[in-house]
Amino acid sequence: EYELGPNGAMVAASDLIAVNLEKVKEDIEEYKPDYVIVDTPGQLELFAFRESGPYVAHNLSGENRVVLFLFDFTISSTPFNFLSTTLLYNSLKLRLNLPQIPVLTKIDMNRRMAKKIMDWCTDPHTLEKEISVEKGGERYLLATEIFRAFSRLSLIPVPLPVSAITWDGMLNLGSAIANILRGGEEYSE
């Protein structure tokens, strides 16, 4: 109908949701849900950095909101990719100004690597050590300075590890969501 390519279609879809938000809200409210989970377009910049994304995030039904930021295991499994994803996490937090829960997905794919990623978060010096393996050059300098800033400001999140396949971590994720949305009421499966 609009004769758009893939990127143009994603932009148009994101904008059309914002334009038709009242209809979307009516459709959601028909079901009277306890929670609504909205999966946004896979390209973060389309949702986070265009005006339509924050508009939808702040004007969808209900008063309480939480953002689930997914650290995709396959992307976050190298120190530089993890640091880049952490930069996106903090950019989204700054842009939306909403409570945000970091989630490490697909942990069932390689439990040892998932543990290593979690170690980077809980003991940032392990991440710093892995970054320092690639000493020298602009990439190393940039990564080191970003790491230092994040460490100094405590901006390296500790994600909740989950698996949609094995359901590992889902109860903890549900509890974290309930804690933010309902002030800590118990969550049950």
Does 186 reside within a domain? no
Query: Residue 42: its pLDDT value, please?
Result: 66
Query: Residue 92: its pLDDT value, please?
Result: 93
pLDDT in tens, 67-118: 999 999 999 999 999 999 999 999 999 999 999 999 999 999 999 999 999 9
The token pair that represents 101 in the structure block: 């829960």
Domains identified in the chain, total number: 1
The CA distance from 26 to 37, in Å, is: 15
Does 96 reside within a domain? yes
Query: Residue 143: its pLDDT value, please?
Result: 96
pLDDT in tens, 139-150: 999 999 999 999
pLDDT in tens, 46-70: 778 889 889 988 888 677 889 999 9
Does 1 reside within a domain? no
DSSP, collapsed to helix, strand or coil, labels residue 63 as coil
143-166: average pLDDT? 96
Does 187 reside within a domain? no
The CA distance from 23 to 155, in Å, is: 37
Range with top average pLDDT, 3-7, 96-100, 185-189: 96-100
Residue type, 42: G
Per DSSP, which regions of the chain are E strands? 67-72, 100-105, 160-161
| Share above pLDDT 90 across residues of the chain, in percent, rounded to a whole number | 65
**Count of Cβ atoms closer than 10 Å to residue 128 Cβ:** 16
**Containing structural domain, residue 170:** 6-181
CATH number at 52 reads 3.40.50.300
